[in-house]
Amino acid sequence: MEKIPPVRLLEESTPGDPSLDLAVSHALLRRVAAREAPATVRLYRPGPTVAFGRLDALLDGFGDAIEAARAHGFTPVLRSVGGHAAAYTSEAIVYEEITPQERLAVEVRERFEDVSGLLVAALVSLGADARVGEIPGEYCPGEFSVNAGGNVKLVGVAQRVVARAALVSAVVVVRDGERVRAVLRDVNARLGVEWEPRTAGALADVVPGVDVAAVRDALVAHRARAVPLQPASLDADTLALARELEERRRPSG
């Protein structure tokens, strides 16, 4: 049997600068595409963030939505994957896979299915009735969202594909469900985006006592069943590129 090469695991983050965290992911995608960096799993704890999509930036209420996010203590950022606004706090964890690809769109669905399946397995192991699928009225809707019992969205999953590489990004809201609902109410009201607030929640709402560390460990354990993970540190070249790209993640409005 052919031995599977290890994939590096990065866990650094800058919770005080959410735009830099997003820029690091963008930089990793670029460097993997250029074959300057290997396949990477990135797992990190963010700061309080409202991540706006490109569609949001086109809406008349975008500037007011940015201010609403700030008023709730969230940093607004503009992400390169996903649709409408998503919110999360430091009681969340971001799981990402950046992989080299020779074909552009052929494996998009397969990557979505693989990562959402991983997320479901990890959350089920923690006691959640986790399922893949969009809930009617959910914020930032997506076919591969992960929910609890068909009622509460727990994870948003998005993907970006460029020439020769792909990034799949997922945010698991572990705690602070009410805080997430509150900021999304105000942000989406200003954007004019219709949604059902009851669909926004957190894993701890359905698995009392669960914490970010437990989710992190479950994700690592389940991914390591398929591919060996090798802990590593973010290299200086990727960080330098991220600092160049960071301004693109700062919304204006």
Residues of the domain holding 49: 7-241
Between 158 and 253, the more confident residue is 158
Within the chain, where are the H helices? 18-33, 54-57, 62-71, 108-125, 177-191, 203-206, 212-224, 236-245
- Distance (Å, whole) CA 192 – CA 60: 9
pLDDT of residue 82: 61
CATH value at residue 144: 3.30.930.10
| Token reading at 169 | 């990004």
- Dump pLDDT digits (tens) for 4-32: 789 999 999 999 999 999 999 999 999 99
pLDDT over 70 at 1, yes or no: no
| Residue whose tokens read 């991983």 | 118
SS3 184: helix
Does residue 253 register a pLDDT over 70?
no
Residue 248 lies in a domain: no
Kindly report, residue by residue over 36-83, the tens digit of the pLDDT: 999 999 999 999 999 999 889 889 999 999 999 999 999 999 987 667
What is the Cβ-side half-sphere exposure of residue 228, based on CA atoms within 13 angstroms? 5
What per-residue confidence (pLDDT) applies to 219? 98
- Residue 99 clears pLDDT 60, i.e. is over it: yes
Find where tokens 């805080």 sit.
179
From the list 219, 180, 225, the residue with the least C-alpha distance to 43 is 219
Q: Is residue 145 part of a domain?
A: yes
Average pLDDT rounded to a whole number, residues 149-158? 94
Average pLDDT for 124-147: 95
CA angle 16, 43, 34 (to 5 degrees): 100
176: left (phi over 0), alpha (psi -120 to 50) or beta: left
Domain membership of residue 2 (yes or no) is no
The whole-number average pLDDT for the span 137-147 is 93
Question: Any idea what the Cα angle at residue 209 is, between residues 203 and 211, rounded to 5°?
Answer: 65
Report yes or no on 227 lying in a domain. yes
What is the pLDDT averaged over residues 226-234? 96
Is the per-residue pLDDT at 105 higher than 60?
A: no
If one counts the domains in the chain, the total is 1
Dihedral-angle region of residue 133 (phi above 0 means left; psi in -120 to 50 means alpha; beta otherwise): left
Cα 175 to Cα 202, 206, 215, 238, distances in angstroms: 5, 10, 11, 30
d(CA 252, CA 250): 7
Sign (positive/negative) of CA torsion 184, 186, 190, 193? positive
**Residue 45 maps to a domain:** yes
**Higher confidence at residue 215 or residue 2?**
215
| Structural domain includes residue 160 | yes
Predicted TM-score (pTM) of this structure: 0.94
Is 132's pLDDT higher than 70?
Answer: yes
Say if residue 104's pLDDT is above 70: no
For residue 2, the model assigns a pLDDT of 60
Q: Could you tell me if residue 61 is inside a domain?
A: yes
- pLDDT for res 81: 65
24-33, 103-112, 182-191: range with lowest mean pLDDT: 103-112
Q: Which pLDDT score, from 0 to 100, does residue 84 have?
A: 86
- Of the candidates 173, 124, 166, 115, the one whose C-alpha atom is nearest the C-alpha of residue 144 is 115
Buried b (16+ CB within 10 A) or exposed e, 182-201: ebbbbbbebbebebeeebbb
